[in-house]
Structure formats: C-alpha cells, structure tokens
Structure 1
Amino acid sequence: MILERQNFMNINQISAELEKEFTNKSIEQEDIEKLQALARLYQLYQAGANEIGTKLENLDAEFQVNYDHNPIHHMEERMKSVQSLLNKLVKKGYALSVENVRAHIFDIAGIRVVTNYIDDVYLIEKMLLNQSDVTLMQRKDYIAQPKTSGYRSLHIVVSVPVFQSTGSKPVNVEIQIRTVGMDMWASLEHKLRYKTDIEAELVDHYGADLHDYATELSGIEIKMQALYQKLNQYKN
C-alpha cells in the first residue's frame, strides 16, 4: 500500500496565494489578519489529513500481519485549492472567514483510499470508525446507490482531533473509498467531463457508454471478489 502525500504549502505560500485573490482590492490590516488566519487553518486541516492517513496506514499494516491481506491498494492525500475554496464559499453565499470555512466546507482536507475489492471498502470504513477518536459526520454510499452517471464510491466525512501547541482541535476530513476499478472509471469520467474540449453531444454519447461500462465493471468486480474468497479457503 502506498500513501501519496502532497508537498503541502507553508503559511507564507498559502498567504501569498490568498493575497492573489485580492490583487484588485486594497488590502487592509483586517484583510491581512483574515488571510493569515485562513493560512493557519489550512495547516490545521493538513495535520488532520495526516492523522487519518497514518491511521489508515497502521490499519492496513496490521491487517497484513494478521490476515496476509492488504485491503488498501494505495491512498492519495489532497488539500482543496485556495481558489476552489473561495469559489465554494461564494457559491454557497458565505463571506470569506475562518468561521464560515469551518462551518460550511467539509472537504478542505481529503484522502482517496483505493482498495482491492468491494468488501475492502466497507472493511476500511468499519475499522476506521471503530477508533474512539474518529467521529462520523457525513456518509454517502454511491456504491449501494450509484449516481446517475454510473459513479460508484463511498464518501464519508470524519472528525479527528489534532493536537497543537495551543491544545486539541477537531478537524473534518473527507474520505473517498473505492476499488481500483471504480477509481479507473472515475478518472476517465472526470477527464471526459472536465479535461476535454469536445462537443457536448459527444460528451453525452461517451457518458452513456461509460454508464454501461460502470455496470459491467461492477459485475466483474463482484465475480473477482467471489473468486478471491474461494481461493482463500485453500490457504495453508
């Protein structure tokens, strides 16, 4: 299992990026303090993502020792970009403030967990939520109920305490858990809808194909999981 961590920005880099959003405005001291507070908030959420990432690494390693199986294929940590954060606040109709960010944005810090089999998705969720300091805040199961596009994944938002010099603070981290097949499908759909300049008619055409492929892929993954379970019966 491989955890890919971003090279997270420090407070000066985050402040500089935030200040770009105010290039056409006069920056008052109040604005500067607000930007610095947001930069510190980013660091807090980065720490939250690292806390969850470490927990998942430990669970995967423990499962390997006890059951000779790694439920996690790989993981990726990511932080929402400053521009995306600001756009989401505007879209929701909230002013730029630390309070609004903490109260209304739940995907500042995120981890994508890619598993080997469908059962592993729910195993990872169960093991993580069994930890006494991890609290479930939101849950959306797009595997049990796929999106109309065919997208499948389990999305949960958890709260985890982060210990800093000033004390412990709860931090929300979004976790997307999906199989290798689901991840491959989601990457292709994202490319189709957001990374290409083809005509809308073709997007709809290929999107319909992808919807069918999602159903086929799900059926194949269920069969492969069943085969894996049968093979486990012959382990020494």
Structure 2
Amino acid sequence: MELSNELNIFLDKYKAYEEKVLEPTMKEIRACLQKMEKPEFWNQYMTGKGIATPSPIRQSLFRIKHPEKVIEKIFRKPQYFPDKLSEESLKNMHDTIGVRIIVYFSSQLSLIDKELRNSGFFEIDPNTPPEAFFEPAMLMRLGLSHIESKQKESGYRSIHYMVRLKNSALPEDQRPVFEIQVRTLAQDLWSELEHVLSYKPETRPHFSAKQRFQILSREVSVIDEHFNLLYEELIHNQETASYDESDVLTFENTPKVLSEIGIRCAITELNPILKALFSRNIQTIGEFLHIATPTRLTTIRNNYISITGNAPNNIELMTTLSLLNNVKTQKDEIKRIKASIYYQITNGTTSKKENNTY
C-alpha cells in the first residue's frame, strides 16, 4: 500500500514535470530542428560553387518517455537514482526527452557532429561525452575518432549526444538534458526491425538469432557504405562537371548550371527540379538558360511574395519557371505564374501567409 501511494505521488510529479518542463522544451527543440531541416541551413557547409547543398537531415523524430518507463528505469538502475521516486531523479534522467536525427548517408554523420559541436541551438553536456556505437576504424574514416567508440552485441549503430538547449523560455537551471541519437537511414531501418524482433525481454533471441542479427548488421553496414560511396562520387562529379549548352541536364551538372543564375540547390531538390523541367520538355542546359532569365526569376519571386507572403523555395521556383516555356507575351507569363502559385496553394505544396498580428 505504501509503495502504491508513493507511485501515485510520483506519477503526479512526473505529470507536472512533463507539462511544465518536458512539453515546452520539446516544442522548442522541434522549432530548432525545423530550421535545421531546411536545405538553406546547410549552405555554409557547401564545398564549392556548383556543389549541391548537403541537406543531410531526412527526418527528425521526438518522444517524451512514458511514466512507466521512467519508473522502471529508476528501479532498474538504483545506482544512478539514489533518490528513487523523486524530482531529483527526474532531473538526473537524461532521456526523458528523446530526439532522433536520421541522415541519408554515413559521411553526413560528421556534418551533424560538426553542427552540434558548434550549434547555436544546443550545447553538449560536459558531464556526458558523446558515444558512438561504431568500430574505431569506421569512426576514423568518418573523421569522428574524437568520439568514444562503444559496441553492442547486436551490431546496433548510432551516435548518441546528451545536450541541452542554449536558449529557452525556461531558466537555465531548469533546462533538461536530453538525448539526440544520430544515425543513417539504413541504420535506422536495421534498428527499428531489431527493436521489433528482440528488444523486449520476453522476445530475447537465442544464440542462432543473435548471430543472424550480427550478420544482418554487417550486411546493412556494407550497403550503407556503398550508398555513401555513390553519394561521394556524385558530389565529386558535381565539383568537376563542365558543360555545353547542348548537354542534357543531369544530377551532376544541374547544381553548377543553377549556381550560374544565383541559385543554390540541395541534393534532395535535384530530382523534383529535373522532373518539373523534363515534364515541360526543358531537357538541355541551353533550353533551361533560355527561359531562366533574371527578369523572369524576379517576377516569379515577387508574385510569390505578393500572394503567399513568402519567397518561393527552389522547387516552387523551378516548377513555376517550367510553365513559362514558349510563353509569348508578358501578360500570359504573369497569368501562368499566378495560376501556378494558386494551384500549389490549393494542393498544399505551398501556403498562403496568414495574418497573425495582434
């Protein structure tokens, strides 16, 4: 009975802590990650003119730890929570908020590491250094040998950072430390499937299953490395690309062509941009440069700002520009630009700015 009362009291404390500290903090974290997910955030890391922006973040995931998981951890690790079911234990539990950043390619892990170490949003907890569940040789290849290497029997791969917000509505002494896990898309796929098959105590695999997990982990790692090699080859080809106006637009030459008209594109934008241009029979560099005049680009941007309150992103800009192929008069040009903008608003690919003044 006494333990039951203690649990109920603690659950009430955790609920209050969640409402006053964890939920507001997670809202602020989301806002930071939304900025980091934008391709233009990574322009500072471009290696040269005509190279696509790395734009490494594919997805960010968030969660607040369930109360029963908090209680289970306190009882499972009493050496870390000597105050047991208390507010002090909540402050010492550094994964009540969990964040996962998923990147496309393994070489982008070092990009996230560099950003987190120099972030305007986060500061790494000095008492808890980052941990990398990678072999030391792999960390060295990725330029991450400054992170301590750890191993898990299952073959799990990820990098864990304990951080807190640099700026928050909460006073500095109340800002919780939280965990950011960073991994590639392939590593996340393996981790999710491993979690489903073997994470829960009642489904711990026997020896042969453990061996298969380790084999699968190695195979996923090999696949991950091959995709990363293709990515690095693409970046190298972009860097060394040269072109004639008769050349067809490709993943290799398009960033350089766009840079000539003042547009920095992200690698994740290349496919939709080329798709939009090709769908309107704009396939060669010469055909593209013929329609991508400075006056037209300015006209499109001005109409976007006038109608939506925001400048167009690169995909919106190129999609609208593609509609101007073979347009004869300025009147028809403006008509098509506005039609494109309103079509995108109607289909939810862009949004009209709301008046939020008060």
Please point out which of 213, 217, 224 is paired with 1:214.
217
- Count of residue correspondences: 207
Partner SS, residue 98 of structure 2: strand
The alignment's TM-score, normalised by the length of structure 2, stands at 0.52
Q: Percent identity at matched positions?
A: 24
State the SS of the aligned residue for 1:83: helix
The alpha carbon displacement at 1:108 in A equals 0.3
- Greater relative contact order structure (CA < 8 Å, 6+ sep): 1
* Secondary structure of the structure 2 residue equivalent to 1:147: coil
Are 1:122 and 2:110 counterparts? Answer: yes
State which of 53, 59, 81 in structure 2 corresponds to 1:68.
53
Task: Output one character per residue of 1:71-124: Cα deviation in whole Å (capped at 9) or x when no partner.
Answer: 011121011110010111122224211112102x11000011111011222211
| TM-score of the aligned structures, taking structure 1 as reference length | 0.76
Q: 2:25 aligns with which of 29, 43, 48?
A: 48
The question of 1:148 aligning with 2:153 is answered: yes
| Counterpart Cα distance in 2 of 1:234 and 1:228 | 10
Q: How far apart in 1 are the matches of 2:157 and 2:191?
A: 8
1:234 counterpart (234, 237, 240): 237
Compared CA separation, residues 24 and 140, structure 1 to 2 (3 A): closer
CA shift digits 1:127-180 (9 cap, x unpaired): 12312452212311002444221110001110115314xx44322111111111
Q: Which residue is equivalent to 2:335?
A: none
Q: Report the equivalent of 1:163.
A: 169
Is residue 81 of structure 1 aligned with residue 84 of structure 2? no
Quick one: structure 1 residues 23 and 76, their matched pair in 2 at CA, closer, same or farther if it must change by over 3 Å? farther
Higher gyration radius (CA): 2
Choose which of 58, 61, 70 in structure 1 pairs with 2:35: 58
Shift of 1:54: 2.4
d(CA) in 2 for partners of 1:191, 1:211: 16
Alpha-carbon shift at residue 219 of structure 1 (Å) = 1.9
Q: Which residue of 1 aligns with 2:90?
A: 101
Distance across 1 between alignment mates of 2:213 and 2:89? 37
8 A Cα contact 2:155 2:217, kept in partner: yes
User: Residues 21-36 of structure 1 correspond to what in structure 2 (within 5 A)?
Assistant: 25-26=4-5, 32=9, 35-36=11-12
* Residues 110, 196 of structure 1: alpha-carbon distance in 2 compared, 3 angstrom cutoff: closer
SS at 1:162's partner residue? coil
**Offset at residue 196 of structure 1 (A):** 9.3
Please, which runs of 5 or more residues in structure 1 have no aligned partner? 1-21
* C-alpha contact 1:136 1:157 (8 A) present in aligned 2: yes
